[in-house]
Amino acid sequence: MTDIAAIARQKPVQAALASFTSQLDEIIDLIIQVQQIPAPTFAEGQRAHFVAQQFATAGLVDVQEDDLHNVYGRFPGTNSHLPPVILSAHTDTVFPQETDLTIRQENGSIYGPGIGDNSTGVAGLITLAKSLWAHGLHPAADLWFVANVGEEGMGDLRGMRAVVQRFGSNGRYIVVEGGIFGFVCHQAIGVRRFRLDFQAPGGHSWGSFGRTSAIHVMSHLIAAIDQIKVPESPRTTYNVGVVQGGQSINSIAQSASLWLDLRSEDVIALQALETQVRQLAADLQVRFPEAAVTFTLVGDRPAGSIPRDALLVTWAEAALRQVGREKIEYFAGSTDTNIPLSQGIPGVCVGLARSANVHRLDEYLDPSDLPAGLGQLLLLTLAASGM
């Protein structure tokens, strides 16, 4: 088994690890450069173009941007017969194009929308590529660096779906998130998202009183969903995140809609939850025959996992310890790792630094752990590539 400590003892590796501290200011500059380019989900092109230039400058070969604006670049390994290691970070953010991306620095932290999630992850990949060349490190397997689109919101992991389709089951996936240093994710929760549309005859609030209202029927369903007892283990959740509908205060609503997010650590439990919701909707239609409810699937992130003692997970953990991190936390999440894990392909998601207020305008990055986070990523990459 690959020994992380032995890799870390090698002189060039030590030099690379040290460079993450000595070059911290430049690395932070790069993070900010990435962050300054708007990249809402479905409009990642401008940021992708910048990353492609950076990949080429960092010495990666076969740099290419696909139709979705996924950016690929290869660091050639010494043994072309080995399955590749795919290192990915998502380029998209939850912030609309017009968001003010101005940053401010305070108490050593950097505030700015998207600074941790995931400008730090993207800049981390570029930094890793540069340091492999700079320190003459030679992984055995090819490393594919990928800056992918579509991780957030309604992106539904479309970028990563294309990446996994490209490389197939052949390979190991290391997904990099900027803000979760100390965490290792090897368990992908399943997510099913729906838009539910309610139709009803409606009418005048006074003159047609008693006719079925789409909003009232929808409210019955929300109240019923709220009564569902979900298991604590496997952790299973529901949320109605958005509601819309109605025409005016004095109209009985003809239409309404809600956005529903269902999640579980377990495929079967997720299916059971969805079945319950569909049954509640069917019951309502019996009760309100004039109403109609339709389900549209708008997001489907499949569940999957590899065991805690899988090689990738043990390397990620050993690499964290090697860079001085005592406390290691495992989490089940919805990340790009869902796609390989759900297909039985090994994958793990790791972080680079600490960030907070993620998905908010006052998001900030505390870069103090960043050298250790990059160190973990380097050691994990070298172990996974069979150095």
CB of 39 to Zn ion, least distance (A): 12
Helical packing angle, 24-35 and 121-134, nearest 10°? 140
H or E element that contains 292:
strand 292-301
CB of 134 to Zn ion, least distance (A): 27
* Closer residue to Zn ion (CB): 77 or 121: 121
Using CB under 5 A as the binding rule, the residues of this chain from 174 to 213 that contact Zn ion are: 177
Bridge partners (DSSP) of residue 187 are 305, 332
CA distance linking residue 300 with residue 314, whole number of Å:
29
Nearer to Zn ion by Cβ, of 159 and 171: the residue is 159
- Chain residues 149-178 in contact with Zn ion, contact rule CB under 5 A: 177
Report the candidate in 274, 141, 263, 286 with the shortest Cα–Cα distance to residue 212: 286
Residue closer to Zn ion, measured from CB, 177 or 265: 177
Task: Using the minimum distance from each CB to Zn ion, give the nearer residue, 70 or 118.
Answer: 118
Please report how close the Cβ of residue 177 comes to Zn ion at its closest, in angstroms: 5
Q: How far is the CB of 121 from Zn ion (least distance, A)?
A: 7
Binding residues among 106-135 for Zn ion as defined by CB under 5 A? 117-118
- The site for Zn ion, by CB under 5 A, has a size of 3
Residue 141 DSSP code: S
Q: How far is the CB of 180 from Zn ion (least distance, A)?
A: 9
Smallest separation, CB 142 to Zn ion (Å): 25
In this chain, which residue has its C-beta nearest to Zn ion? Answer: 117
Q: What type of residue sits at position 11? A: K
Contact 348, 175 (CB under 8 A): yes
Is 129 exposed, middle or buried, given 0-12, 13-18 or 19+ CB atoms closer than 10 A? buried
Nearer to Zn ion, 114 or 190 (CB): 114
How far apart are CB 145 and Zn ion at their closest, in Å? 17
Least distance between Zn ion and beta carbon 337 (Å): 11
For residues 358 and 349, what is the distance between their CA atoms, to the nearest angstrom? Answer: 17
* Helix-helix angle 11-22:370-384, to 10 degrees: 150
Nearer to Zn ion, 41 or 342 (CB): 41
Q: Which is nearer to Zn ion, 185 or 277 (CB)?
A: 185
Q: Smallest gap, in angstroms, from Cβ of residue 89 to Zn ion?
A: 8
In sequence order, which residues have a C-beta less than 8 Å from that of residue 144 and are 6 or more positions away? 72, 73, 74, 75, 84, 85, 86, 87, 167, 171
CA–CA separation, 3 vs 248, rounded Å?
67
Binding mask 66-105 for Zn ion (x = CB under 5 A): ----------------------------------------
Nearer to Zn ion, 113 or 139 (CB): 113
Interatomic CA distance for residues 191 and 210, integer angstroms? 38
The whole-angstrom separation of Cα 139 and Cα 76 is 8
Which of 348, 322, 326 has its CA nearest to residue 337?
A: 348
* Residues 214 to 233 in contact with Zn ion, rule: CB under 5 A: none
d(CA 217, CA 291): 8
Task: Give the residue with the Cβ less far from Zn ion, 349 or 379.
Answer: 349
Binding residues vs Zn ion (CB under 5 A): 117-118, 177
